[in-house]
Amino acid sequence: MATVLDRRPGLLLRILPPGLYAGRASKLIERSMLAYSRMWLVFLSGAFEPLFYLLAFQVGFGKLVSEVAGPGGRPMSYVAFVAPALLASSAMNGAIFDSTFNVFFKFRYAKTYDAMLATPIGPLDVAIGEISWAVLRGGLYSVAFFGVMLAMGLVASPWAVLLIPVALLVAFAFAAIGMACSTFLRSPSQFDFIQLAVMPMFLFSTTFYPLSVYPDALRIVVQCFPLYHGVELMRELSVGALNWGMLGHLGYLAALAVVGVWGAARRLTHLLLR
C-alpha cells in the first residue's frame, strides 16, 4: 500500500479526508463563471438598484438639498455626498447575495460542497473560492457604478481611483462574513435575519446623512457597522480628504475579512468532515 501511495501521491488525497487547503480555489471561480454564463441578466440586475438610487437623488431629492458637510467639514453637493456611500453599498449587496443565498443552496440542498470535498479540494479552498467569486461580483458592480459617477461628474479627486480597490475590500469583508453566517442557517425563511442586518446598515451607516446628526450614544453603534467604515473611507477618498483615521477603517475591514474566511472554513470543516 505504501508503495502505491509513494508512486501516486494524489491517491492519498482521494482515500483520506481532504486537507484544509489544496490550492484549488480557482476551480470554484471557474465553476461559477460557467454557471453564470447562461444567467448573465440575473448577474447584472444587482447593479441597477444603487444606480436607480443615485439617479433619484440627482433628479429629485438632490434638488431640495443643495449642499451638506462632507469629510473635514468641507461643503459638497448632496449627490456627491451620497454617491460614494452607494458605491460601498453596491459592493456589499453584490457580495452578500452570492455568499449567502447561493452558498446556502449549494450547502443544504444541492450538496455541491460534499461532492467537492470528495476530491482533493479542501474546506479552505471552498471558502476562498466562493468568497473570491462574491468579491468579483461585488467588484464588477462597483466598476459599473464608478463609471456612472465619472459620467455624472461626481469624482472630485485623483485619489478617487482607489475607490475600486476599497470596494473590493468591502466586498471581501461582507462576502467572508456572509458565507460564515450562511453556514448557520437551516431554512430559507432564516434569510430574513440576513436582511434584518443588511437593511439597517444600508440606511444608517452614514449613507444618506453625516454621523453628526445622530445622538452621541447612537454614534457608537453606527461606528460598529462594517458598512460605515467602507462608506467613510470611500467618501474621504472621493474628495481627497486623506487622514490617519483611514487606516482604522482599512484595518477594521481587513480584520473582518480574515475572521470571515477563518470562520467559513472552520464551519465547513466541522459540518462536512465530521
- The answer to whether the pTM exceeds 0.75 is yes
| Residue 124: pLDDT over 90 | no
Residue 38 DSSP code: T
CA separation for the pair 44, 94 (Å, rounded): 10
Q: pLDDT digit string (tens) for 156-186?
A: 788 888 999 999 999 999 999 999 988 888 8
State how far the alpha carbon of 64 is from the alpha carbons of 58, 194, 213, in Å: 10, 33, 18
Which domain does 228 fall in, by range? 2-272
| Residue 11: pLDDT over 80 | no
Which of residues 125 and 3 earns the better pLDDT score?
125
Residue 54 C-alpha cell reads as 443615485
Q: pLDDT digit string (tens) for 186-195?
A: 888 888 888 8
For 174, the 3-state DSSP assignment is helix
CA separation for the pair 8, 130 (Å, rounded): 29
67 Cβ contact partners less than 8 Å away, ≥ 6 residues apart: 75, 76, 77, 78
pLDDT at residue 9, as a whole number: 45
State how far the alpha carbon of 77 is from the alpha carbons of 114, 234, 241, in Å: 51, 16, 15
- Yes or no: say if 131 and 31 are a contact pair by the CB < 8 Å rule: no
Count structural domains, the chain.
Answer: 1
Residue that has been written with the C-alpha cell 447584472 in this structure: 44
Residue 247 DSSP code: H
| Residue 232: pLDDT over 50 | yes
CA separation for the pair 253, 205 (Å, rounded): 14
Mean pLDDT of 16-29: 68
18 — pLDDT class (breaks 50, 70, 90): very low
State how far the alpha carbon of 260 is from the alpha carbons of 90, 173, 257, 264, in Å: 19, 7, 5, 6
Residue 169 C-alpha cell reads as 475590500
For 76, the 3-state DSSP assignment is strand
- Yes or no: say if 100 and 177 are a contact pair by the CB < 8 Å rule: no
φ/ψ (deg, to 5) at 67: -140, 150
Burial of 186 (0-12, 13-18, 19+ CB in 10 A): exposed
pLDDT at residue 59, as a whole number: 67
- Yes or no: say if 227 and 93 are a contact pair by the CB < 8 Å rule: no
